[in-house]
Amino acid sequence: MASEQIFPKGLGGLRTEEEIEAVGTRGWNLLREDLSLPAAVLVKPRVEHNLRWMTDFVHKYGVFLAPHGKTTMAAKLFARQMDAGAWGITLATAQQCVVAHAHGVRRILMANELVGRANFELVSDIIAGGTTFYTLVDSPDLVHQLGSFFQGKGQQLRVLVELGVTGGRTGTRTDEQTRAVVDAIAQWNGSLLLCGVEIYEGVLKDEASIREYLGWAVDTVKQLQKQGAFAKGERVILSGAGSAWYDVVADVFAAVRDELDVVLRPGCYLTSDAGIYRVAQREIGQRNDIARAVDADCGATLQSALEVWAYVQSVPEPGLAIVGMGKRDVAFDSGLPVAVWHFRPGVHKEPLRASSAWETVKLMDQHAYLHVPHDADIKVGDMLGFEISHPCLTFDKWRYVTMVDESYNVLEAIPTYF
């Protein structure tokens, strides 16, 4: 039977999964126009640098890394992260967890509340398949729903109690609420295993508030340890950290790293970006000695590794170029894409640095408005490479992202599973 045809953008005329899987054998190069644009590409040496950087960072702190898989939802990238020493993979939904389990991830932290029978069934299958699985709880109601279901299945579900902040997302707001959740878990002894405490500091915006919140988590886990609240035979976990404040989380949580497993969960480090996470990483380098030491060890801080390339479609008036890339192709919630490369097929031998005066000012579904000086050397058919802000909401626009080397030779296609 012939393989079903698929029609992914960015991969030219390839129509089957078998053809796409073998794309690295074709000798293709983005700059020779072998890929149909727009195309999203990962620059392999930068991805590998970022893997080394974060591995070095967590090792220096003596903590563990469970990178958040929701950023890429790419099983091939999960495998690279696990091969680099990750403790496990963090995910946000039952469907995402199914994807990771199906591709060989055997330790999953679902940094979210698991709600609903169909989602319970998905996780039950994951546990039955041999994966060590953790999820979060923040209310007795949810605890009892989970306890009833998994007791009925004859399975044990590992849970972390989530601490939250007023005005934030999920999580208990007070010690009294936390105690009620812990007491509820104890009622399902044998079906629910309390394994630790979790927080997400990204809902707060200043370091002082974050440190106070993290201190509450440390105090809570210590108190629960003294009370013997955690499941016997299980490693106690204290987990936190998105991609902007992971250094502060490591700094505070490292105080208890000898007593339990501290697990950090940044996801965007793998590709970084040219927007919000470049700014966040610069601030990390300014305030954190270990981050600066890692920069020195690795030769640089995290690098922007995800690019979206597109053609100039029109130069309809002086000072304006219209590029064939839009909201269907690139994130726009946390800053617009930045043109960094300019290549004219048949003229340039290699990409030139785009002028800093070239500015993306507006995105429509399939078009970008690029303001340029009136005398800018930019023509229809020119290829532009853009760095992005917020990789999570760029990856989810692509069924396949292409891995390339620094010369833009195509190495492989990375499927995503959003």
Q: What tens digit of pLDDT does each residue of 192-241 get?
A: 999 999 999 999 999 999 999 999 999 999 999 999 999 999 999 999 99
pLDDT tens track for 97-133: 999 999 999 999 999 999 999 999 999 999 999 999 9
Distance CA 133, CA 2 (A): 38
Q: Per the structure, how many domains does the chain have?
A: 2
Based on the domain organization, do 374 and 227 belong to the same domain?
no
Task: Decide: residue 350, CB within 10 A, 0-12 exposed, 13-18 middle, 19+ buried.
Answer: exposed
Structure tokens at 317: 């008036």
Q: Phi first, then psi: give them for residue 248, nearest 5 degrees.
A: -70, -40
Residue 255 structural domain: 68-266
Whether residue 279 lies inside any domain: the answer is no
State the CATH number of the domain containing residue 125: 3.20.20.10
Based on the domain organization, do 100 and 194 belong to the same domain?
yes
Whether residue 49 lies inside any domain: the answer is no
Letter for the amino acid at 95?
A: Q
Letter for the amino acid at 384?
A: L
Task: Decide: residue 289, CB within 10 A, 0-12 exposed, 13-18 middle, 19+ buried.
Answer: exposed
Whether residue 278 lies inside any domain: the answer is no
What is the torsional sign of CA 16, 21, 27, 30? positive
On whether the CB atoms of residues 333 and 369 are closer than 8 A, the answer is no
* Rg of the chain (C-alpha set): 23
State the CATH number of the domain containing residue 29: 2.40.37.20
Task: Report pTM.
Answer: 0.95
Based on the domain organization, do 320 and 219 belong to the same domain?
no
Q: How far is CA 208 from CA 55, 171, 214, 249, 341, in A?
A: 27, 20, 10, 12, 39
Based on the domain organization, do 26 and 175 belong to the same domain?
no
DSSP 349-364: SSPEEPPTT-EEEEE-
Task: For the chain, list residues with pLDDT below 50.
Answer: none
